[in-house]
Structure 1
Amino acid sequence: MLMMMQGIEVGRNLSSRLTETSFTKGRYRLHLGNDGDLRLLTLNPETLLESDIYFAYYASNTKNQNPGIQLVFNESGYMYVLQRNNSRFYLKQDVPVSSKDFYHRAVLHFDGVFVQYYHPKGGDGGWRWAWSQPENICAKGFGTDLAANEVGNLACGSNNICILGDNQRPRCECPERFVLSDPSDSYGDCKPDFEMHSCGAKSNQTDVSLYEFVTLEKTNWPSGDYKKYSNYNEERCKASCLNDCFCAAVVFRTICWKKKFPLSYGHRSPTGGSDTFIKVRKLTAGVPNTGRRGRTRDWLIITCSVLLGTSALVNFILLYMKRNKKRMAKKPNQRRYTGAATAHDLNLRVFTYRELVVATGDFVEELGRGAFGIVYKGVLKVSGDSEVSVAVKKLDRVAQESEKEFKNEVKVIGQIHHKNLVKLIGFCDEEQSRMIVYEFLPNGTLASFLFRRPRPSWEDRRRIAVEVARGILYLHEECSEQIIHCDIKPQNILLDEYNNPRISDFGLAKLLMINQTHTLTNIRGTKGYVATEWFRNSPITSKVDVYSYGVVLLEIVCCKKAVDLEDNVILIDWAYDCFRQRRLKDLIKEDLEALDNMDLVERYVKIAIWCIQEEPGKRPNMRKVTQMLEGVAQVNDPPNPSPYNTFTCAESMSN
């Protein structure tokens, strides 16, 4: 990272980190060469040696007669290459804000994008994007002399698709029927979840009955062609690939290009372009789908039941499970954090109170507060001069159970890993001080994202709605122990640098004192996020989270708070009456993107109303909610969620 008044001398580097969470040196360098040229370089990912450079994907071209002698990041926030004759080559001609009122910093991210950010002095607006280089790291070729226009996307591995996100940062996505080779590395290689076809000794013909195509819209793979046809239509292009055992995929856009595995430089463009058709093994072709959890094991059991008979099958299953258990026990733990004290049984770092005092600067910068306590921003040293930002939550309302009980609860939280849940790094349990340390997410809460003007894009809101539901579903049904969150609301949903939602505070409800369990929100007497069970002394089940999610879904659709005291609006009542009166457009006035997607708006509003039914038995579970959101389950018209309370759409709009 570079701060103002820092720079790079000739022959020196600014290095990226290895991953988003590892501060080991990664594969990208910002390097001012001996020839005076400033370049962004990528190294061989296998060796990461400074001498093993793959290519440059940006160059300032400040060499030859007037070479650069220093990269300068001056006090005004401008960055330039100072040349021998004192002329300046500016990496960006304009900086959006003055350094008088804003701090500036520049970061070479682990994905290879070099970004300058600014932050208001004395403000809490977070770091904002100013400019980045390259402008599109997913694009093929950047025109540098070393890359020879054959760079391709840098951030994603083989068979992986690069998609340009916010702030010109990439994200990677495996195609359908492919899974990550390393599940912890979304930027790595993707492998097929089916048996690859191979060519026989006498023929390159494919058994066409075994294969079909999956379609990747607006996706191109500009490298790896081995044949092309200019006079084919789409069907003839696909048929040619289907009958060719060498062919893994075809890209069609007036011309037919045949590709072999592995596919490289995949790029999806929202503005359109070519479509790719990947040849995959049919799921009904009798071959085990090894990419799906458990399918290989099931296939083995079915096969052995035919070959060995029932009694032999039992012996086979016992032997298989015994060997599998031993193999899992031998796997090394690769996710352990380094530090002074580590709880090996929890796979979490155990912090002393003093360590967290130092990390937070004596708990100065407050990020937020809620039912469980106050959250502070901190910075931890990882190795050498490397640092990582964290969020430290002081649990000031936690029951003082035994140390063993506290650690058992933290252990449950620490074992939960899902892309839509905030990751736990460690904890402190020292006398009366109990704290939990999480990863720090830079884009704040969903509340600050939704309740702003102009509204966030409809596509971002739609994606966030689905991903939040998936995170809750994981807590309810897919982790080792069911977890009821009990406090789902936008303030407890955080956004990472790509605006992907991560649910926080899950599992903490069990740490509250018994007499605190009914005070998870300060909207007790008003309809907010709290299900009616809390006020009826009824059993608390996972349906309380379903209720809260329904409220959040309405907030995502309308970009309006659950309880708006200024406008005298209770969102759930207003939304139902607008739905009942077929006036849903009143919920999204001036939201042009949402107005263009009224079918989806209506679907989401109906799902939300089902979720907020006062009778828990009428609410769907989160699996059903997710299926309805994704369009794979029908959504019927819901009944009045609160029959004894009415609030009309017309009344809400007149206030």
Structure 2
Amino acid sequence: MVTNSINSRQVIWSTFSFPTDTLLAGQNLRPGRFLLSGVSQSNHASGKYRLENQQDGNLVMYPTGTIDSGSAYWSTWTFNMGLLLTLSLDPNGTIWMFDRKNSYTKILFHANQPSNASPDMEIYYRLTFDPDGILRLYSHVFFKLGRAPTTEVEWLEPGSDRCLVKGVCGPNSFCHLTVTGETSCSCLPGFEFLSTNQSTLGCWRALPTGGCVRNSSNDETRVTTTMVEVKNTTWLENPYAVLPATTSIEACKLLCLSDCACDIAMFSDSYCSKQMLPIRYGRMPGNTTLFVKIYTYQTISGTRQRAMSIHANSALISGVSLAIFSLFVLLVASLLLICRHRRSLAHMTMTAPRQEDSRIDGNIVGLRSYSFQELDLATNGFGEELGKGAYGTVFKGVVADTNQDIAVKRLEKMAEDGQREFNREVRVIARTHHRNLLRLLGFCNEGIHHLLVYEYMPNGSLANLLFHSDASPAWSKRVAIALDVARGLQYLHSEIEGPIIHCDIKPENILIDSLGIAKIADFGLAKLLIGNQTKTFTGIRGTRGYLAPEWSKNRAITVKADVYSYGIMLLEVISCKKSMDLKRAGEEYNISEWAYECVMFGDAGKVADGVDEAELVRMVNVGIWCTQSEPVMRPAMKSVALMIEGAIEVHQPPPPASYSQSLT
């Protein structure tokens, strides 16, 4: 870009001065500039790694999003020399660093000219920071006499072992090379991949952590713990306790086993340490031994235990009598079924209309099929609006034949193939039955009309309760609502066949019934409905302020996206403050950063008034765990519910990812 003035022409920006992932001959990487790896060889968007020419004179490779020395995996070791060094590649294939104001130079590599060099040969060099996080110098040889050009790798750092690159595998997993030299990621024992299709994203526990579990009064929870050994690995250390050097490897294992807060013990260089999860940058081979705690749960109802003991003998004595009686009952039941079958054949035409009421391209048990005319009459021409969302409007109605209050949602944004998706999603919602989910009563699927009929919630939404009431709800009521929502999400995520990701958890989608019980609304619809006027189901869905970071990073969306949204909502429930209102008030951080700062500086009372401080800090910490930037660091909703109940200990969370940036 060139700007003109009366007396001069001045270049104010050029692509050559701002390289992306490649340096060509004569091109420099100045202090404070960096190269970013691509996503893949064919996708040159910003990838996972950064090569930064730091202001301290050091050239360093990091995974993107990290700046700490523990995350660096290669450097030139030229820091603290009082120099500002520039990285340069010259036409002869020499990679070197120099200070413009001094005579200091450092040659990183000098390419040897090929032994078969000839006048018909031209050689060009490029230095590229490749998608796998390795910096390579390529030579491209062209011939004037029609021979095919050749490409060779002349130099690479940090070496040919790609597992030396930190971040190849995600948290709680380690990298090892296959027989072909390719990288492969494996989870720690007791962990499973966050996404089965993307093994590089990291791992999380297949079952929630045992922690310091307290048995409930109604059920006896047996938690069996064992330690599994993982040898010959290397990890980034993140200890919360380091034991004396005299501790043996066997004692290291037993000390973690006996500590309910310890999940992983590391034994390396004669030192034993208890590590915080997640554990990162694992690779093989190495000289570290890990001991990973594995939990096995068994819950046996105390009432059932007593009943089993009391009736054990009586069951044995009466077994023969029951068997004889069962044969008699079976005979009678068979005769009755034959008679009933004959009657049903005689009256087939009378029952057919009732079957049609529960049919939508197949049977859906428990749902009523309404005509559009019925719902138009029930809502008095859709006259009383209860609320309006991104995907439709909700109206108050009364069913004429039962006098039952209902809420009718008229869907207004359907994709082109929405008919098939509507049928599928209604079936999905129909198979969910939980105390903390809004119950679907029926549907209308008539021509262009797509409507859903729900139970009516007389106490409105959680948003009205928190942000539009004269007084804040009592603390105990807020905690109960938070626990209700956690249990509803736990059911959607892990207790039905095929998890449902809500995609839009926020106070407006939490409704309160006549008994004060919170129920999640709009679950199962996010995959059906389209937002932002698009025609696909792959765009961002949800509400600004509650969206997990992975929505904007082209990363796989899992149930952990709901956990993030829940964390924002939980902090709103605790504080009765809306996250986006902090921005509007001129604050530079979101609600998780604000709450973390209040707790960190001992000013938790700013988050909520009149609440026991220890209880308040514990609840805030749950919210901060849920809003961690990396999905693998967020707890599962089952663990969240246990933390809110106080059944497991809540450890101090790391700060929100953007917190340190907000301070600079």
Computing the radius of gyration over CA atoms, which structure comes out larger, 1 or 2?
2
- For normalisation by structure 2, the TM-score amounts to 0.45
- For normalisation by structure 1, the TM-score amounts to 0.46
